[in-house]
């Protein structure tokens, strides 16, 4: 076996070294004592589960967040990034998963913004700018018209523009945050060619990806992060995929998840061949009464998109959704009438009206049934709100208080209360415990479990593997818009789910 | 290496996209020019006197002040902001100019112009400073300063009126003189227009204004000093409104606290009709100035055509809707063609 913390630094000194870097947002520690060495002429992979702290690390490198503690050294000199412009001037270029271009401006201008070549009287030399953009694209081996506006470029082409930008100021450190997530096979190959040529020119590339095949094909060394901590750095040929997954997951499944055993009865929600062009394809599954089914997968695998389509928020191109055997026509109103309820992921944006009172929010979906002659009576509203907030133990000083005064966990419980009061037959929850504390988490889990025991069909999207494994009777795993695995409770463990989610082991 | 092979495999495409984009750019400003030509032609056929020297001079004089305001407004709108206080700044600057001449009749004219410009710039700096400091949308801040500046004007004027007799003849001539049949004021506006257009097109600072309007977050990430540039845009808009105030005083001679009242929406209308995207990032000051000329021409053409002047507002409204509709249609067409033509074949 290979030691966990072993790494063999190449002979030359590191180009960029991070040590002891920590960063917290409020009470949440995103990074704790993280280290990372990048050497010239290497492509270095950074892997970890969702929420392991990779994106925060990228933001620190980009100069967008200052670290709370720790040091960055570039060429042996200490570096304190004072902002994006400073990090860029130091030679660090970051390419985000969703590139940040100016859609109205032409491609050449996007590359040279703020550094346009000038001629007499400091006027911009448009011709030189165009020529140099053309040269950069030639070096990258792509055919992009420097004069076309950035609007309408595919994600792949936008990334190429960002890479051209990085080349234009001779970036020595190129950070790519999940660049391949939205690319097709050919585009990925082309991107790899570009990354290798950048490496061969002596730069260091930090490559963040969830796709193990890419990591092993492209990179020389792999750093694993978990829960904001550095776990290991190894040469790529010293690791197997299984070892990598174990290090990424690495924690014990706690007994926090009290799923009661229920016997699945008749099918409640059936989804057949649901397809939305370019987003998800041919998704079929059934959720029975009394069952909790988890939809697992990496961020961007299309899980939220599928449930949005099931609930009638987004249209779908093919397929059908059946509730209790009856076909559901589109639209959320019909979905709610058929007994569906959706607790969205972003409760601030989509789940609650922050300025309205607790009582108003709790009764919002039932404002018609609670009103008489079209008028909403305060008494009926309050009575119903009290019943449900008591049942879910929502802690609010007064029912008339605006929702934004509640804590995150209580807000989440209120969203649940709001939908449970409609007495749904199918409850869909998207990341039900994101950003709430452990105690509330257990309460939400207990609640979901009891609902299932009462005969509700629960479909849960969650990125937290322990939650998925603890709560679900069955785990459906999505990878790149497709359902790639269905794992029953008995066979589901961290490794089987992670392997399926990364597409490494399609069953 | 794969990259090099790919280069040799296919010759670089000629800039078809460039031609397309250029054409769209031309079409956008050409469209206004065409509408303007059509309107003038129809009106002239109905009444040939519409093309008389005096009538044209009135038309140009009438558009000048609106055009200067529109140039300043376009600079702000390009950064995805709006300045509703320009009418009040104009009023303040106009009354200040008049008061200055009442106090010291012998004052050189350039000094009066400078005072107007600086006063406007200060008002603009107040706008820009509030927006940057309070991080409040420009719409709200300038709606507030619209009333504040006008209130100061009212307090100052206090019902007084300054008449042409109070101002030196040289200054008033500035508002009426012509060079080769073109009013002097219009020439001032043309200079302002060309300078602004040149800066926005050929200087880094100008291009950064477009970048900010196109995507403020991306602008911040690429190290553009967003706050400073937006502040600058508001100072420029204020200074131009101040200049417009001086010209207003020279042209009309009679001044009270109501100069330029309710003109802000006219200015925004001119900018939108002129093809500057209301959400920033695209458009030009030339278009905005043309928009101002078109709106002014409509106002003077409708009575000539025997159309009830009450329809004038409806006509302006219809024009705004038509301009937005045209922009949308063009955007969809360009998007479709750019998408259809895959950049890699």
pLDDT band at B13 (very low <50, low <70, confident <90, very high): very low
Interface check A116 vs B, CB under 8 A:
yes
B41-55, B234-248, B302-316: which is most confident: B234-248
For residue A342, what pLDDT is reported? 87
Over residues B247-254, the mean pLDDT reads 92
Residue B80 in domain: yes
Closest CB to A123 among B203, B217, B219: B203
- Residue that is written with structure tokens 């700044």 in the block: B89
Distance from CA of A323 to the nearest CA of B (A): 38
pLDDT band at A258 (very low <50, low <70, confident <90, very high): low
The answer to whether the CB of A414 falls within 8 A of the CB of A440 is no
Residue B121 in domain: yes
- What are the angstrom distances between the C-alpha of B181 and each of B175, B250, B294? 13, 18, 20
Kindly tell me if the per-residue pLDDT of A438 is higher than 70.
no
pLDDT band at A247 (very low <50, low <70, confident <90, very high): confident
Residue B342 in domain: no
Q: Return residues 85-114 of A near B (CB < 8 Å).
A: 85-86, 88, 100-106, 109, 113-114
Interface check B13 vs A, CB under 8 A:
yes
Q: Return residues 320-359 of A near B (CB < 8 Å).
A: none
A152-161, A167-176, A380-389, B15-24: which is most confident: A167-176
Rounded-to-integer distance, Cα B267 and Cα B283, Å: 15
What integer best gives the mean pLDDT of chain B? 86
Collect all residues of chain B within an 8 Å Cβ-Cβ radius of residue A152: 334-335, 338-339
The answer to whether the CB of A457 falls within 8 A of the CB of A473 is no
For residue A239, what pLDDT is reported? 87
**Dihedral class, residue B180 (left if φ above 0, else alpha if ψ from -120 to 50, else beta):** left
pLDDT band at A50 (very low <50, low <70, confident <90, very high): low
Are B277 and A62 a contacting pair at CB < 8 A? Answer: no
Q: Which region among A475-479, A483-487, A489-493 has the lowest average model confidence (pLDDT)?
A: A489-493
Kindly tell me if the per-residue pLDDT of B8 is higher than 50.
no
For residue B99, what pLDDT is reported? 93
Collect all residues of chain A within an 8 Å Cβ-Cβ radius of residue B16: 145
Rounded-to-integer distance, Cα B246 and Cα B241, Å: 9
Kindly tell me if the per-residue pLDDT of A300 is higher than 90.
no
Collect all residues of chain B within an 8 Å Cβ-Cβ radius of residue A193: 1-3, 6
Collect all residues of chain B within an 8 Å Cβ-Cβ radius of residue A111: none
Over residues A222-226, the mean pLDDT reads 91
Q: What percent of chain B has pLDDT over 90?
A: 49
Distance from chain centroid for Cα B341:
35
Closest CB to B210 among A105, A139, A194: A105
Rounded-to-integer distance, Cα A115 and Cα B138, Å: 28
Residue B84 in domain: yes
Beta partners for residue A44, in sequence order = A206, A221
SS3 string, A435-461, reads CCCHHHHHHHHHHHHHHHHCCCEEEEE
Closest CB to B15 among A116, A122, A145: A145
Domain that holds residue B183: 50-329
- What are the angstrom distances between the C-alpha of B264 and each of B82, B89, B127, B149? 10, 10, 15, 13
For residue A135, what pLDDT is reported? 92
Interface check A183 vs B, CB under 8 A:
no
**pLDDT tens-digit readout, A265-290:** 788 999 999 998 888 889 999 999 88
Q: Which region among A13-22, A383-392, B280-289 has the lowest average model confidence (pLDDT)?
A: A383-392
Where in chain A are the domains?
16-101+154-249, 104-152, 254-339+424-507, 354-423
Residue A102: closest CA among A140, A152, A61, A65: A152
> Which chain A residue has the Cα nearest residue B199?
A123
Kindly tell me if the per-residue pLDDT of B192 is higher than 90.
yes
Rounded-to-integer distance, Cα A383 and Cα B117, Å: 64
Residue A72: closest CA among A20, A23, A24: A20
Q: Which of B1, B3, B24 should we substitute to test contact with A (largest number of A Cβ atoms within 10 Å)? A: B3
Residue A160 neighbours by CB distance under 10 Å: 27
Interface check B7 vs A, CB under 8 A:
yes
Interface check B343 vs A, CB under 8 A:
yes
Are A102 and B219 a contacting pair at CB < 8 A? Answer: yes
Domain A16-101+154-249 and domain A254-339+424-507 have a common topology: yes
For residue A142, what pLDDT is reported? 83
Over residues A103-118, the mean pLDDT reads 91
Interface check A148 vs B, CB under 8 A:
yes
Interface check A131 vs B, CB under 8 A:
no
Q: Return residues 65-84 of A near B (CB < 8 Å).
A: 83-84
Are B214 and A105 a contacting pair at CB < 8 A? Answer: yes
Kindly tell me if the per-residue pLDDT of B300 is higher than 60.
yes
Residue B172 in domain: yes
Q: Residue A20, CB half-sphere, CA atoms under 13 Å: how many?
A: 5
Rounded-to-integer distance, Cα A258 and Cα A264, Å: 17
> What's the Rg (C-alpha) of chain B?
22
Distance from CA of B340 to the nearest CA of A (A): 10
Residue A144: closest CA among A132, A134, A159: A134
Are B2 and A141 a contacting pair at CB < 8 A? Answer: yes
Over residues B90-99, the mean pLDDT reads 94
Are A194 and B223 a contacting pair at CB < 8 A? Answer: no
pLDDT band at B10 (very low <50, low <70, confident <90, very high): very low
For residue A6, what pLDDT is reported? 42
Collect all residues of chain A within an 8 Å Cβ-Cβ radius of residue B223: 83-86, 88, 114
Closest CB to B17 among A100, A148, A197: A148
Size of interface A-B (CB pairs under 8 A): 131
The answer to whether the CB of B237 falls within 8 A of the CB of B79 is no
Collect all residues of chain B within an 8 Å Cβ-Cβ radius of residue A108: none
The answer to whether the CB of B41 falls within 8 A of the CB of B162 is no
For residue A362, what pLDDT is reported? 82
Distance from CA of A303 to the nearest CA of B (A): 27
CATH code where residue B128 lies: 1.10.3470
Collect all residues of chain B within an 8 Å Cβ-Cβ radius of residue A154: 343
What is the domain count for chain B?
1
Residue B207 neighbours by CB distance under 10 Å: 22
Q: What percent of chain A has pLDDT over 90?
A: 23
Distance from CA of A221 to the nearest CA of B (A): 22
Over residues B266-294, the mean pLDDT reads 91
Are B10 and A138 a contacting pair at CB < 8 A? Answer: no
**pLDDT tens-digit readout, A303-352:** 888 998 999 888 888 899 999 888 888 788 888 888 888 888 766 666 78
- Residue that is written with structure tokens 């979901």 in the block: A448
Collect all residues of chain B within an 8 Å Cβ-Cβ radius of residue A122: 203-204
DSSP code at position A8: -
What are the b/e assignments for B225-253, b being 16+ CB within 10 Å? bbeebbbbbbbbbbbbbbbbbbbbbbbeb
∠ CA A204-A298-A6 to the nearest 5 degrees?
A: 45
Interface check B6 vs A, CB under 8 A:
yes
Any residues with CB less than 8 A from the CB of B254 and at least 6 apart, and which?
B161, B162, B163, B164
Are B338 and A148 a contacting pair at CB < 8 A? Answer: yes
- What are the angstrom distances between the C-alpha of B80 and each of A326, B210, B216? 48, 9, 8
Distance from CA of A67 to the nearest CA of B (A): 17
The answer to whether the CB of B69 falls within 8 A of the CB of B267 is yes
Rounded-to-integer distance, Cα A376 and Cα B98, Å: 60
Are A143 and B10 a contacting pair at CB < 8 A? Answer: yes
Collect all residues of chain A within an 8 Å Cβ-Cβ radius of residue B218: 100-102
Residue B344 in domain: no
Q: Which of B24, B218, B220 should we substitute to test contact with A (largest number of A Cβ atoms within 10 Å)? A: B218
For residue A343, what pLDDT is reported? 85
Residue B252 in domain: yes
Distance from CA of A289 to the nearest CA of B (A): 46
**pLDDT tens-digit readout, B172-187:** 988 888 888 889 999 9
- What are the angstrom distances between the C-alpha of B283 and each of A48, B81, B179, B301? 45, 14, 30, 26
Interface check B340 vs A, CB under 8 A:
no
Tell whether domain A16-101+154-249 is in CATH 3.20.20.70.
no
Rounded-to-integer distance, Cα A454 and Cα A448, Å: 10
DSSP code at position A313: S
Collect all residues of chain B within an 8 Å Cβ-Cβ radius of residue A149: 17, 21, 334, 338
pLDDT band at A294 (very low <50, low <70, confident <90, very high): very high
The answer to whether the CB of B183 falls within 8 A of the CB of B60 is yes
Are B281 and A104 a contacting pair at CB < 8 A? Answer: yes
Are B221 and A152 a contacting pair at CB < 8 A? Answer: no
Residue B229 in domain: yes
What integer best gives the mean pLDDT of chain A? 83
Q: Which region among A67-76, A170-179, A375-384 has the lowest average model confidence (pLDDT)?
A: A375-384
Q: Which residue has the higher pLDDT, B207 or B330?
A: B207
Class of residue B6 by CB neighbours under 10 A (exposed 0-12, middle 13-18, buried 19+)? middle
Kindly tell me if the per-residue pLDDT of B5 is higher than 80.
no
Interface check A365 vs B, CB under 8 A:
no
Is the ipTM above a cut-off of 0.90? no
Distance from CA of B282 to the nearest CA of A (A): 6
Interface check B199 vs A, CB under 8 A:
no
Are A105 and B281 a contacting pair at CB < 8 A? Answer: yes
pLDDT band at B6 (very low <50, low <70, confident <90, very high): very low
Rounded-to-integer distance, Cα B5 and Cα B18, Å: 26
Residue B88: closest CA among B276, B267, B261: B261
Q: Are strands A371-372 and A204-208 parallel, antiparallel or unpaired?
A: unpaired
Third-level CATH fold of A254-339+424-507: Rossmann fold (3.40.50)
Neighbour order of strands in the sheet with A280-288: A280-288, A267-276, A318-323, A326-327
Q: Return residues 216-275 of B near A (CB < 8 Å).
A: 217-224
Interface check B208 vs A, CB under 8 A:
yes
Over residues B87-105, the mean pLDDT reads 93
């Amino acid at each position: 076996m290979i030691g966990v913390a072993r790494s063999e630094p190449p002979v030359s000194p590191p180009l960029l070294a991070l040590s002891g870097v920590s960063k917290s947002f409020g009470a949440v520690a995103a990074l704790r004592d993280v280290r990372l060495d990048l050497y010239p002429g290497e492509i270095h992979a950074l892997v970890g589960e969702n929420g392991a702290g990779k994106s925060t690390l990228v933001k620190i490198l980009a100069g967008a967040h200052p670290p709370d503690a720790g040091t960055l050294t570039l060429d042996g000199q200490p570096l304190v990034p004072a902002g994006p412009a400073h990090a860029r001037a130091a030679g660090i270029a970051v390419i985000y998963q969703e590139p940040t271009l100016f859609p109205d401006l032409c491609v050449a201008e996007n590359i040279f913004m703020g550094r346009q070549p000038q001629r007499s009287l400091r006027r911009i030399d448009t011709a030189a700018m165009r020529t140099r953009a053309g040269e950069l694209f030639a070096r990258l081996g792509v055919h992009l018209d420097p004069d076309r506006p950035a609007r309408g470029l595919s994600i792949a082409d936008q990334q190429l523009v960002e890479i051209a930008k990085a080349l234009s100021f001779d970036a020595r450190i190129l950070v790519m945050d999940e660049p391949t997530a939205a690319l097709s096979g050919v585009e990925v190959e082309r991107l790899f060619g570009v990354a290798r040529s950048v490496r061969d020119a002596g730069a260091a590339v930090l490559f963040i990806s969830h796709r193990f095949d890419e990591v092993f094909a492209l990179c020389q060394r792999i750093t694993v992060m978990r829960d904001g901590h550095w776990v290991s750095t190894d040469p790529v040929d010293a690791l197997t995929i299984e070892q990598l997954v174990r290090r990424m997951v690495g924690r014990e499944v706690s007994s926090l998840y009290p799923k009661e055993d229920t016997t699945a009865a008749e099918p409640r929600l059936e989804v057949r061949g649901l397809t939305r062009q370019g987003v998800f394809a041919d998704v079929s599954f059934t959720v029975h009464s009394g069952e909790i089914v988890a939809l697992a997968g990496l961020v961007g695998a299309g899980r939220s998109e599928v449930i949005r389509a099931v609930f009638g928020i987004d249209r779908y191109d093919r397929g059908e959704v059946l509730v209790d055997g009856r076909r559901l026509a589109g639209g959320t109103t019909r979905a709610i009438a058929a007994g569906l309820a959706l607790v969205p992921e972003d409760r601030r944006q989509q789940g609650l009206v922050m300025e309205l009172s607790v009582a108003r929010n709790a009764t919002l979906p039932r404002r018609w049934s609670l009103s008489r002659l079209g008028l909403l009576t305060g008494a009926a509203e309050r009575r119903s709100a009290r019943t449900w907030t008591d049942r879910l133990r929502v802690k609010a000083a007064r029912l008339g208080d605006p929702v934004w005064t509640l804590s995150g966990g209580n807000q989440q419980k209120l969203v649940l209360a709001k939908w449970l009061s409609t007495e749904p037959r199918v409850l869909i929850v998207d990341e039900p415990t994101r950003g709430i504390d452990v105690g509330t988490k257990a309460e939400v889990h207990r609640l979901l479990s009891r609902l299932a025991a009462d005969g509700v069909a629960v479909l849960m999207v969650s990125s937290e593997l322990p939650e998925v494994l603890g709560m679900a009777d069955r785990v459906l795993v999505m990878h790149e818009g497709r359902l790639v695995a269905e794992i029953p409770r008995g066979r589901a463990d961290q490794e089987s789910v992670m392997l399926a989610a990364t597409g490494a082991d399609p069953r | 290496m794969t990259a090099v092979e790919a280069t040799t495999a296919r010759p670089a495409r000629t800039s078809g996209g460039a031609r397309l984009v250029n054409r769209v750019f031309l079409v956008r400003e050409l469209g206004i020019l065409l509408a303007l030509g059509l309107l003038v032609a129809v009106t002239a056929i109905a009444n040939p006197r519409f093309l008389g020297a005096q009538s044209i001079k009135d038309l140009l004089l009438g558009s000048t002040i609106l055009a200067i305001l529109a140039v300043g407004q376009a600079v702000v709108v390009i950064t995805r902001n709006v300045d509703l206080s320009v009418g009040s700044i104009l009023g303040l600057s106009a009354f200040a100019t008049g008061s200055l001449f009442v106090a010291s009749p012998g004052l050189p004219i350039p000094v009066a112009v400078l005072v107007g410009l600086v006063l406007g710039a200060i008002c603009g700096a107040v706008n820009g400073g509030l927006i940057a400091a309070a991080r409040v949308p420009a719409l709200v801040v300038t709606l507030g300063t619209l009333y504040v500046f006008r209130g100061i004007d009212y307090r100052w004027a206090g019902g007084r009126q300054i008449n042409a007799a109070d101002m030196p003849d040289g200054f008033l001539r500035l508002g009426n003189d012509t060079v080769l049949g073109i009013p002097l004021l219009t020439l001032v506006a043309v200079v302002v227009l060309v300078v602004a257009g040149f800066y926005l097109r050929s200087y880094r600072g100008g291009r950064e204004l477009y970048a900010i309007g196109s995507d403020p977050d991306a602008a911040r990430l690429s190290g553009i000093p967003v706050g400073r540039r937006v502040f600058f845009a508001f100072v420029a808009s204020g200074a131009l409104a101040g200049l417009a105030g001086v010209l207003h005083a020279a042209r009309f001679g009679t001044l009270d606290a109501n100069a330029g009242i309710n003109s802000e929406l006219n200015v925004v209308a001119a900018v939108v009709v002129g093809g500057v995207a209301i959400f920033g990032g695209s458009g030009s000051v030339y278009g905005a100035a043309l928009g101002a000329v078109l709106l002014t021409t409509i106002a003077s053409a409708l009575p000539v055509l025997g159309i009830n002047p009450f329809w004038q507002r409806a006509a302006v409204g219809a024009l705004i809707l038509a301009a937005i509709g045209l922009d949308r249609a063009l955007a969809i067409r360009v998007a479709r063609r750019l998408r259809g033509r895959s950049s890699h074949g």
